[in-house]
Chain A
Amino acid sequence: MAKKEEIIEAAKETAKKVAVKAAQKAVEVASEVVAEAKEALEKAAPEANAKANANAIITPEMAKIPAGPLELKWTNYKNHQKLVNPANKRRLDVIVIGTGLAGASAAASLAEMGFNVLNFCIQDSPRRAHSIAAQGGINAAKNYQNDGDSVYRLYYDTIKGGDYRAREANVYRLAEVSNNIIDQCVAQGVPFAREYGGLLDNRSFGGAQVSRTFYAKGQTGQQLLLGAYSALSRQIGKGKVKMYTRYEMLDIVLIKDENGEPRARGIIARNLVTGRIERFFAHAVVVGSGGYGNTFFLSTNAMASNGSAAMQMYRHGALFANPCYAQIHPTCIPKHGDFQSKLTLMSESLRNDGRIWVPKKLEDAKRLQAGEIKGRDIPEEDRDYYLERRYPAFGNLVPRDVASRAAKERCDKGYGVNNTGLAVFLDFSDAIQRLGKDVVAQKYGNLFQMYEKIVDENPYENPMMIFPAIHYTMGGIWVDYELQTSVKGLFCIGEANFSDHGANRLGASALMQGLADGYFVLPYTIQNYLSDQIGVPRMSTDLPEFAEAEKAVQDKIDRLMAIQGKRSVDSIHKELGLIMWDFVGMGRTAESLKTAIEKIDALKKEFWSNVYIPGEANALNNELEKALRLADFIEIGRLMAVDALHREESCGGHFREEYQTPEGEALRQDDKFSYVGCWKYMGEDKEPQLIKEPLDYEFTERKTRNYKN
C-alpha cells in the first residue's frame, strides 16, 4: 500500500516537474514572442511616427478660417458667430495673463461687456508692461495723408513685409480693424501728434511707401498703454476686473469635460511678494504674456519679459509655431561691456530723417575703431550710404530684417565704426541742415537725450552709432482664426501668439496687432467658445486637477532650490545668450544650428546641476523668479534652433546662409516651406513633433521681396 502511494506520489511529482518545465518553456517562448513583437513595434514606431509627421497637417477648416472673399471673411464671421447674452456674461469668469497692450485692452473690453475678469501681471502695476517702451508709432489704414493708402495696401505691405509666411485671412482682418484702434485711442484721450490744423499727423515707417504711422512723440507705446490702462482702471474701480499685481503664472490647469476633452479651467500662480503658490479658476484663460526675445539675454525687452507662459501652454499641448522667427532690430545702441544688462532701442522713426552709413575706405574704418577720428571727420565723398546704394526705392526705410543684415554685411567686411567694430552710423547732419536743429529736436528730442545719457556723446554734433539687436519674436503659440490655441478654452493674444507678422514684422505693427487682438478680435471670438460654457458652474479649486498642478509647480521649485550649486542664474543666462547670438542669430547655417543644440543641451545639464539660488522659496526671491524663467528660456532656445535647422530656406528674420541670392538677399523655398512650422510637445527631453499648416496664397501673388525699384 505504502509503495503504491509512493509510486503515485512519485508520478505526481514527475508530472508536476514536467508541467512546470512545460509552463516554463511556454513562458520563455511567450516572452520571446513578446520581445520580438516589441522589437518590431519599436522598429516600426519611428517610421509610423515619421509618416504621421509628414501627414500631420492643419487645414484651413481646422484653423477656422471663414469662407468667402478676403474682404468679407471677418464680416461673415461676426455675422454668424455665437454670442453670450448679458445675463450669462455675468456668470462667466475669464483669466487674462498680462497687462500689455493686448492683455489690458482685452481685460478692459471683456469687463465692459459684462464678463468677470481676473487679470494678472508680474510688475507692481499694470501700467508697466513692456508695451510701454514702444517708441515710434502705430500703423493704420486711415489714408488721412491722401497718399494712396487703403486697407488692402496695409494688408499687402504686411504680407509682403512678412515674406509671405503669414495667414492671409488674419492679416486682412488686422488691416481692417486698424482704423478702429485709432478712433478708440483718440476717444480715450491718447494725445497723438497733430498738425497745425488740428488733425492727426503721420510719419513713415519701414516697408511702406505711404505715411500711415500715428505717433505720440517718441512715446507712442506708453500713451497707447496708458489708454488701455485707463480703461482697465475704470473696470477695476467698478469691480468687474480683479487685478493681481506681482503675481506670476506658473502653470495652466486643464480639466476634462464630460466628453473627456481637456479644457483650460484656471491657473497656478505665485505671489511674488509672499512666495505663496495660489490657485485660480476661470471658464477660459487668455494669455498675453509677450515675446521670448530675452532668450538671447541681451535684447531690447524688459528684464522680466519671459517665455514661461508660452512654455506652459506648449507643455499642455498648445503648438509652438515658427519659433525661429525672431526680429533683429537694426537701430539699437551698440553693446559696450560684459556687465551689460540690456540693449536700448533707438526708434525706427529715426530712419525717416537719419541716413545710415559706414566709411567707403577700410583705413577710415580702422581709424574710427582705434578712436583716432570721429564720424564727422570723414568727408561726404568717402561715406558709403549702403542702404541708399543697395535699395534705391526704399533707401533707409527698408524693412528691419533687410537693414539689419546689411549692417552685419558691412561690419563683417571690417567697416564697423566703433571700438568693437560692431556699429554703423545713423547720421542727422543732412536733416539738421535741411530742417534746422529745432525741428529735429522737436521730432526726436527724447531719443537724442536717451542716446546721450547712455553713450555720453552728442548726436546733434556727431552721428549716432547703432547696431542690430533682438527686439521682437514673430513666432509664438499657434492660434486659429479665433485666437484659440490647440487647447480648448486657452487663448493667446499679442506678441505671445504667432499670428500676423509672418517671418518679419513691419515697424509700428506690433502696437497695431496687440490692440487689434485685445480690443476688437478676442472680445468677439471668445464668445463663440464661451457661449457653450454658460451651463458650466464655477468650479472649486480644491479639485484634484488643481492640487496636482500645484504639486508639480512646488516640486519644480523644490528641485531648483535644492541644487545649491556654484553658478548664479545670470551667469548661465548670459552663456545661453551668447550661444543664441553666435549660432542662432542673424546668419544661421545647418552647422551652427547643430552646434547650438549641442551647446544648449550641455548648458541645460549645467543649469540643473550647478545653479545657485539663495534665500527661501516661500518668500520674495528674485533669483528664484529668474531661475524659473531661465529654465524655460533654455527649452525655447533649443526649440528655436530645432525649428531654424528644419527650415531650409531664408525668409524674413530667419536667414540661412546656405539660401541666399548672389546679391546676398534672402532666398525663399516656396515649394518646400510655404507653411507654418508648428511644434508639438512630446515629453521632457523628447524631440518635438512637427505639424504643418500649409499657407496657400489664394488672394495674393507671392513675389520675391523687392525694395530696390
Chain B
Amino acid sequence: MDQYIDIKVRVWRQAGPKAQGHFETYELKHVFQGASFLEMIDILNEQLVAEHKDPVTYDHDCREGICGMCSMYVNGHPHGPDSAITTCQLHMRKFHDGETITVEPWRSRAFPVIKDLMVDRGAYDKIMQAGGFVSVNTGGVPDANAIPIPKPVADEAMDAASCIGCGACAAACKNGSAMLFVSAKVSQLALLPQGKIEAAARAKAMVAKMDELGFGNCTNTGACAAECPKSVSLANIARLNREFICAKFKD
C-alpha cells in the first residue's frame, strides 16, 4: 500500500547555458507514494514559489510517457530506477522514507543545458531533417492495401518506430552516441517496402549528420537499450550498421 514519506531532493540548479551549475538540496515532507515523480517536483516548486524562490525548470508535457519531453537523470539513471518507463510514469512508491533523491539533467555533449534540468535536444531534430523520412508528397499515393507487408515485418517496424526521441540513449551512453535513436528510424523505414528505396542514402545522411553534431561513437555496451523507456532493441543498431556498410560498398 502507498504511504506518505519524507524525502530530500538533491537537484541540479543552473541559471543558464553558460552559468556554473551546482546541487541544491530541498526537504519535502509527507509526500504520497501514489504521486508521480513529476508531481513530486510540482509540490517542490509550489513550495519554492511560496518562499519566493525560483522554481526548478524542467521539461514535461503529456505526462503519460509518450511525448518524450521529460528528461531527468534520477539517482544515476535516465528516467529513474524503474525500467521501460519515462520520468513522468515513475511513481514515488519506488522511493523510501528518508531517502535522498538526486536529480540531474541529461549530460551529453550534443544536449547543452538551457536551465536547471532543461536541455536542448534540437540535434535529434536535425538528424531527422537529414533523412528520417520517405520522400513522398501529399497526394498521389497508391491504395494503402496495394503493397501487402508480412505481419512480422510490420510488427518489427512498429517496435523500432516506438522511439519517443527523448534522448535517454545518448544521455546513458559513455560516448554520448545517438546510435540507438538513429538506428530505430533507419530500421523502421528500411524494413518497410515504402522506405526501402531510399534506405542506403538515408542511413548515410543520418549517420553523417549525427557525427557532425558532436555525438560520439557506439560503445557496444548496450547502456542505451537498457535505459530506453520504450525498450527499443539493440538489433536496430546491427541493422543500421548493415545498411550503412551496404551503402558504403555501393559507393
Chain B: interface residue total (CB-CB under 8 A)? 76
Chain A residue contacts of B35, Cβ below 8 A: 337, 339-340
The answer to whether B63 and A303 have CB atoms under 8 Å apart is: yes
A196 at interface, CB cutoff 8 A: yes
Q: Which of A309-317, A433-441, A447-455, A636-644 contacts B (4 or more CB under 8 A)?
A: A447-455
Chain A residue contacts of B208, Cβ below 8 A: none
Query: Given contacts A127-B68, A132-B66, A622-B57, is CB(A520)–CB(B138) below 8 Å?
Result: yes
Among B118, B134, B142, B147, the one with the most A-chain Cβ atoms within 10 Å of its Cβ is: B134
> Which of B91, B122, B194 touches A186 (beta carbons < 8 Å)?
B194
In the complex, residue of chain B having the shortest beta-carbon distance to the beta carbon of A566: B50
Chain B residue contacts of A519, Cβ below 8 A: 138-139
Binary contact track A88-126/B, C-beta < 8 Å → 1, others 0: 000000000000000001001100100000000001111
The answer to whether A230 and B132 have CB atoms under 8 Å apart is: yes
Chain B residue contacts of A344, Cβ below 8 A: 63-64
The answer to whether A450 and B89 have CB atoms under 8 Å apart is: yes
The answer to whether A450 and B62 have CB atoms under 8 Å apart is: no
In the complex, residue of chain B having the shortest beta-carbon distance to the beta carbon of A570: B46
Query: Given contacts A188-B136, A234-B133, is CB(A223)–CB(B57) below 8 Å?
Result: no
The answer to whether A191 and B135 have CB atoms under 8 Å apart is: no
> Which of A126, A180, A342, A622 touches B63 (beta carbons < 8 Å)?
A342
Chain B residue contacts of A615, Cβ below 8 A: 54
> Which of B67, B93, B133 touches A231 (beta carbons < 8 Å)?
B133
The answer to whether A191 and B64 have CB atoms under 8 Å apart is: no
A142 at interface, CB cutoff 8 A: yes
Smallest distance from the beta carbon of B122 to chain A beta carbons, Å?
Answer: 7
In the complex the two chains form, what is the Cα distance from A360 to B59 in whole Å? 45
Prevailing SS type, chain B contact patch: loop
Tell me the B41-82 residues at the A interface (CB within 8 Å).
Answer: 42-43, 46, 49-50, 52-55, 57, 59-69, 82
In the complex the two chains form, what is the Cα distance from A189 to B64 in whole Å? 25
B158 at interface, CB cutoff 8 A: yes
> Which of A108, A195, A456 touches B93 (beta carbons < 8 Å)?
A456
A282 at interface, CB cutoff 8 A: no
The answer to whether B148 and A198 have CB atoms under 8 Å apart is: yes
Query: Given contacts A226-B161, A568-B46, A570-B46, is CB(A133)–CB(B67) below 8 Å?
Result: yes
The answer to whether A454 and B91 have CB atoms under 8 Å apart is: yes
Smallest distance from the beta carbon of B221 to chain A beta carbons, Å?
Answer: 26
In the complex the two chains form, what is the Cα distance from A341 to B62 in whole Å? 11
A192 at interface, CB cutoff 8 A: yes
Smallest distance from the beta carbon of A459 to chain B beta carbons, Å?
Answer: 15
In the complex the two chains form, what is the Cα distance from A217 to B231 in whole Å? 15
The answer to whether B49 and A450 have CB atoms under 8 Å apart is: no
The answer to whether A133 and B194 have CB atoms under 8 Å apart is: no
The answer to whether A234 and B135 have CB atoms under 8 Å apart is: yes
A219 at interface, CB cutoff 8 A: yes
In the complex the two chains form, what is the Cα distance from A303 to B84 in whole Å? 22
The answer to whether A187 and B145 have CB atoms under 8 Å apart is: no
Q: Which of B123-131, B168-176, B211-219, B236-244 contacts A (4 or more CB under 8 A)?
A: B123-131
In the complex the two chains form, what is the Cα distance from A111 to B91 in whole Å? 43
Among B38, B60, B62, B194, the one with the most A-chain Cβ atoms within 10 Å of its Cβ is: B62
Chain A residue contacts of B55, Cβ below 8 A: 614, 622-623
Smallest distance from the beta carbon of A193 to chain B beta carbons, Å?
Answer: 7
Chain A residue contacts of B89, Cβ below 8 A: 450, 453-454
Q: Which of B5-13, B95-103, B149-157 contacts A (4 or more CB under 8 A)?
A: B149-157
A236 at interface, CB cutoff 8 A: yes
Query: Given contacts A125-B122, A456-B93, is CB(A199)–CB(B148) below 8 Å?
Result: yes
In the complex, residue of chain B having the shortest beta-carbon distance to the beta carbon of A341: B39
Smallest distance from the beta carbon of A371 to chain B beta carbons, Å?
Answer: 9
The answer to whether A273 and B114 have CB atoms under 8 Å apart is: yes
The answer to whether B64 and A133 have CB atoms under 8 Å apart is: yes
Binary contact track A606-638/B, C-beta < 8 Å → 1, others 0: 000000101100001011000000000000000
A83 at interface, CB cutoff 8 A: no
Smallest distance from the beta carbon of B4 to chain A beta carbons, Å?
Answer: 11
The answer to whether B66 and A124 have CB atoms under 8 Å apart is: no
> Which of B120, B150, B194 touches A198 (beta carbons < 8 Å)?
B150
A25 at interface, CB cutoff 8 A: no
A-B interface pairs (CB < 8 A), number? 213
Smallest distance from the beta carbon of A538 to chain B beta carbons, Å?
Answer: 25
A182 at interface, CB cutoff 8 A: yes
Chain B residue contacts of A180, Cβ below 8 A: 139
In the complex, residue of chain B having the shortest beta-carbon distance to the beta carbon of A442: B155
> Which of B39, B137, B155 touches A340 (beta carbons < 8 Å)?
B39
In the complex the two chains form, what is the Cα distance from A345 to B63 in whole Å? 11
Query: Given contacts A128-B67, A183-B144, is CB(A237)–CB(B129) below 8 Å?
Result: yes
A505 at interface, CB cutoff 8 A: no
The answer to whether A187 and B141 have CB atoms under 8 Å apart is: yes
A492 at interface, CB cutoff 8 A: no
In the complex the two chains form, what is the Cα distance from A302 to B65 in whole Å? 11
The answer to whether B122 and A193 have CB atoms under 8 Å apart is: no
The answer to whether A233 and B132 have CB atoms under 8 Å apart is: yes
Chain B residue contacts of A216, Cβ below 8 A: 158, 161
Chain A residue contacts of B82, Cβ below 8 A: 453
Smallest distance from the beta carbon of B161 to chain A beta carbons, Å?
Answer: 5
Query: Given contacts A187-B142, A191-B157, is CB(A341)–CB(B91) below 8 Å?
Result: no
The answer to whether B154 and A193 have CB atoms under 8 Å apart is: yes
Chain A residue contacts of B204, Cβ below 8 A: none
Chain A residue contacts of B39, Cβ below 8 A: 339-341
Chain A residue contacts of B145, Cβ below 8 A: 142, 144, 199-200
Chain B residue contacts of A336, Cβ below 8 A: 34
The answer to whether A229 and B122 have CB atoms under 8 Å apart is: no
The answer to whether B59 and A124 have CB atoms under 8 Å apart is: yes
Query: Given contacts A273-B114, A341-B36, A453-B89, is CB(A191)–CB(B161) below 8 Å?
Result: yes
Query: Given contacts A180-B139, A199-B148, A453-B89, is CB(A188)–CB(B194) below 8 Å?
Result: yes
Chain A residue contacts of B150, Cβ below 8 A: 194, 198
In the complex the two chains form, what is the Cα distance from A108 to B133 in whole Å? 12
A421 at interface, CB cutoff 8 A: no
Smallest distance from the beta carbon of B144 to chain A beta carbons, Å?
Answer: 4
In the complex, residue of chain A having the shortest beta-carbon distance to the beta carbon of B128: A233
In the complex, residue of chain A having the shortest beta-carbon distance to the beta carbon of B89: A453
In the complex the two chains form, what is the Cα distance from A570 to B165 in whole Å? 29
Smallest distance from the beta carbon of B120 to chain A beta carbons, Å?
Answer: 7
Chain A residue contacts of B141, Cβ below 8 A: 183-184, 186-187
Binary contact track A668-681/B, C-beta < 8 Å → 1, others 0: 00000000000000
A523 at interface, CB cutoff 8 A: yes
Binary contact track B1-44/A, C-beta < 8 Å → 1, others 0: 01000000000000000000000000000001011101100110
The answer to whether A237 and B130 have CB atoms under 8 Å apart is: yes
The answer to whether B143 and A183 have CB atoms under 8 Å apart is: yes
The answer to whether B66 and A133 have CB atoms under 8 Å apart is: yes
Chain A residue contacts of B64, Cβ below 8 A: 133, 342, 344-345, 450
Binary contact track A167-211/B, C-beta < 8 Å → 1, others 0: 000000000000010111111110111111111100000000000
In the complex the two chains form, what is the Cα distance from A226 to B35 in whole Å? 30
> Which of B125, B155, B189 touches A189 (beta carbons < 8 Å)?
B189
Pairs across A and B, CB under 8 Å, 30 listed:
A124-B120, A125-B165, A127-B68, A127-B125, A128-B69, A130-B61, A130-B62, A132-B66, A133-B62, A142-B145, A180-B139, A183-B142, A188-B194, A194-B148, A198-B148, A198-B149, A223-B158, A226-B161, A230-B134, A233-B132, A245-B125, A302-B63, A340-B39, A341-B42, A453-B89, A453-B91, A570-B46, A615-B54, A620-B114, A623-B49
- Given A194-B148, A200-B145: 12 more A-B contacts, CB < 8 Å: A124-B121, A180-B139, A189-B192, A191-B158, A192-B154, A194-B154, A222-B66, A226-B161, A341-B36, A454-B36, A456-B2, A570-B42
> 8 tightest CB-CB pairs across the interface, nearest first?
A198-B148, A237-B129, A230-B133, A187-B141, A191-B158, A191-B157, A186-B144, A109-B138
Q: Which residues of B contact A (CB under 8 A)?
A: 2, 32, 34-36, 38-39, 42-43, 46, 49-50, 52-55, 57, 59-69, 82, 84-85, 89, 91, 93, 114-115, 118, 120-122, 124-125, 128-130, 132-139, 141-145, 147-151, 154-155, 157-158, 161-162, 164-165, 188-189, 192, 194-195
